[in-house]
Amino acid sequence: MRGNGLFGLLLAVSLPLGAASMFFEGARVIVDARRPPLENATFLVDNGRIVKIGKAGTLKAPAGARRIDLAGKTVIPALIDPHVHLGYQKGLSYAAANFTRENVIDQLNRDAYAGIAAVLSMGTDLGDFPFQIRAEQEAGKLGGALLFTAGRGMAAPNAGPGNAELKPSAYDLTTEDEARKAVREQVARKVAFIKVWVDDRNGAVKKTPPAIYRAIIDEAHKLHTRVVAHVYYLDDAKDLARAGADAFAHLVRDKEMDDESIALVQQHKILIMPNLGIAEARTHVDPAPWLDEPLFRDVTPAALVERIRAAYSGRTPASVEATQKTYRTMQRNVAKLVAAGANVGFGADSGAAPDYFHAFTTHRELQLMVEAGMTPAQALTAVTATSAAFLRLSDRGTLEAGKAADFVVLDGNPLADIAYTRKIYKVYLRGQEVNRTALRGAFQ
């Protein structure tokens, strides 16, 4: 179990014994997006955990409890994003030099502001301090979204992350022995997953050979650690499934998935992260309307917002058409996977490329998943219960007695319109309200 502390601006402090509990009343509560919500619900929070939850009239506020009226609001479990790349963007700069403790903590705080309780940094972490942050959070000494890390990812030489700034983070592997040694090194650091890239970047590099990624998967599984594979091509996805990969960090993008590939995904219980956002962002010739949304503006530096807006003017019709074609394939693959009952998870891939921002991207990904054919309830399940299960966070992802009081209060019902996840009224992590006003003042 992660994080007994409560979240403030940067540091977390434990709730003292005997502190007043909080009794929330009147909200629609989405306990679990797989079930109908509780209307006009009440729930009791004490010492960072949900004590009781039920319909109005079934619970009574204990003596001394602080009563909080949430009439007209909707409460959802806090979001969990298991695919981000922290630390490389800082203001208008995107560089490995930005990968500092201060910058990573800043981005974890932006996530907390946006109602994100935990993230998995997917294979591009450098040095020791990400593990130090993790340890401080586990000890309740540091706030922000909980940090899970896959440490350093793995690939053949130059075949790891697509952006040059990220490439030094990956192992360059040429033999099976090197692959197994790299896995042992990362597992010794208690990484949450092993990440492996299998992609030739449109023919620009030689992709990681099957012998290498099979050795990675085999060694990781011997050490009871799961493997997340970056995929692009259908044939690679099939072989990775047979080799025992536990999750795909992207959709197949070169063609539509066939019956065999979907059967393999189901047979091997592979979790699929659609990661629609980066591709979708490149399908437009005109600035997106969400550039003016309050949540996006709150968590994204103003100069970066304007540079993103200006970038639309540099796109050619040919480049947009090519991206649209790929994106339509991705959408069809999401629809096929959902129709087949595959385990569709979540991942926004925030920070994987310059100007692909943090925090708001998680909410935008939910919108794109719905547009690809998922229901709002399915998308919300992916970013809460499914992601919690993937990270083995047994006390998060749903709002039930005994679980951590990580929840977001919204000004509308996301089951009716998923865009309401972006209309945030308040965020509570470990039962304490996040001071969003203070955070917002520190962001710009």
| Structural domains of the chain, with CATH | 6-77+396-443 (2.30.40.10), 149-390 (3.20.20.140)
Buried b / exposed e along 401-412 (16+ C-beta atoms within 10 A): eebbbbbbbbeb
Long-range Cβ contacts of 239-244 (<8 Å, 24+ apart): 239/210, 240/198, 240/213, 241/265, 241/267, 241/268, 241/270, 242/268, 243/210, 243/213, 243/214, 243/217, 244/217, 244/218, 244/268
In the prediction, which pLDDT does 26 show?
Answer: 97
Residues 6+ apart with CB under 8 A from 237: 231, 248, 252, 257, 261, 264, 265
pLDDT at 18: 37
Residues 6+ apart with CB under 8 A from 3: 12, 137, 138, 140, 146, 404, 430
The pTM score is 0.94
Which tokens sit at 180? 């197994």
Per-residue model confidence (pLDDT) at position 315:
84
Phi-psi region of 226 (alpha: psi -120 to 50; beta: other; left: phi over 0): beta
pLDDT in single tens digits along all 444 residues of the chain: 443 333 333 333 333 333 579 999 999 999 999 999 999 999 999 999 999 999 988 999 999 999 999 999 999 999 999 999 999 999 999 999 999 999 999 999 999 999 999 999 999 999 999 999 999 999 999 999 999 999 999 999 999 999 999 999 999 999 999 999 999 999 999 999 999 999 999 999 999 999 999 999 999 999 999 999 999 999 999 999 999 999 999 999 999 999 999 999 999 999 999 999 999 998 998 899 999 999 999 999 999 999 999 998 888 888 889 899 999 999 999 999 999 999 999 999 999 999 999 999 999 999 999 999 999 999 999 999 999 999 999 999 999 999 999 999 999 999 999 999 999 999 999 999 999 999 999 997
**pLDDT (0 to 100) of residue 16:** 38
